[in-house]
Structure 1
Amino acid sequence: MEKSKMKKMKWFENWFDSKYYQILYKNRNQEEAKLLIDNLINKFKPNKYSCFLDLCCGNGRHATYLNKQGFKVDGVDLSDKSLNIARKNKNQNLNFYCEDMREYVKNNKYDFILNLFTSFGYFETKQDNLRVIKNSCKSLKINGYFIIDFFNSEIIKKNIIEKEIKIINDIIFKINKSYDKEFIYKQIEINDKGSKYTFTEKVRLLNKSSFIDLSKGLNLRLEETFGDYYLNPFNELNSDRLIIVFKKINNYE
């Protein structure tokens, strides 16, 4: 019965709430997170009353750092385990909510919505990705910014490391990466002292044109496209990241 339930879960529902996800990614670069946030603040100059949403906030590293800079921040994520870590830093101006990014809407609440560190493209259908964009647009105030930090699909495909083994806390992680026309896959085989598990990350291969297409008709205007956390211009041939910045120009029905 329990195995049957697990099979019905989407990969991100299962994997992100696994203890092995936290172990594998425990050393994510906090300095890198600070670098991006600092440069975004310097570029877009939010005022002290600006309200932020960290959409798919995970452990809350971006949200917490933003809050320490004096801003009001909400964090939303589907993973209870990640949110339990994030909530250790909760205060009156930093709150976290367990929500599906496809469903979360707070009409005209936010000056900035951030979707960082490749937290987009997890869904099977274009319609689900579109729901995220549409609800984010609804949640933005007029002249608010929706900033998406995604990988550069061309560079990911070009530099893919197909096989890799990591040993963390005596747990063996065998990582196999591949891609097709639509998705990039990361199969993670885990051996924890003889107990074996397999998870697969699956993220849609989106490019700049894909995001522009998703934004059509939603009163979002493409403002900037950056290629790294220093906010250098995006170049499809050599940029590590694709950082898309949309601005909400008016409301829509």
Structure 2
Amino acid sequence: MSNEELVLLYQQGDKQALESLIENNKGRVFKIANKFYTGKTNSIDLEDLEQEGFMGLITAAEKYKFDIDNPASFITYATYWIYQKIHRFVSQKNTNDETSLNTPIKEDEEIERHDLIECVEEGFENIEEYEYLRQLRKDLEEVMEERTTLKEKEVLKLHYGWDCKECSFTYIGSILGVSKSRVQQIESRALRSIRKSIWLKNEYEEYFKSIRYNYNNVTEKIDFANKYFKGVI
């Protein structure tokens, strides 16, 4: 029975279908969890990451929609939720482990001392620059949401290490169940779509001409935003 058939049964109230779905896709959960696992360098256990991954899989089963045109395959959709659940868990765990650094500076903002320390270490000249780049990442998120498919967005995020370590095309292919060359094709299509966006053509045109970095293509812009904001959003 396919993933989609099992999801449909689960959404209709069949709990056994969920167990089968988990069994069929546990390898995907383990693979993504291992990407976040850093051994003994922090207090996060691999089992905890895997548990979060399974929660993401269940969330995907609950939210997957059949009544839209050309829906992504369930495993592509599930990969997004598995990835997000684990990433949020890791981010929250790291925050809890560093409470001495994380006292809010302003009640109405999310900027914390830890962020500012990283800001200085990475060479930011002032908070305004940090805030601008923070907004840049949000804008890129919106553009990807509007201009790319779910699979394209996940390929970009995985390849550029948007929320975790950068992934090779081969590794992404193993997650999505496609070849390395197919992943490269998906990324190229996504980048072409982003290049055509009004955001990239107009809104930020003057800024990118004036900044001290020489950016020639959208891949460098995505990598630039990620360099400073991995795990922020």
Q: Is TM > 0.5 for Structure 1 vs Structure 2?
A: no
TM-score when normalising by structure 1: 0.27
Choose between structure 1 and 2: higher strand proportion: 1
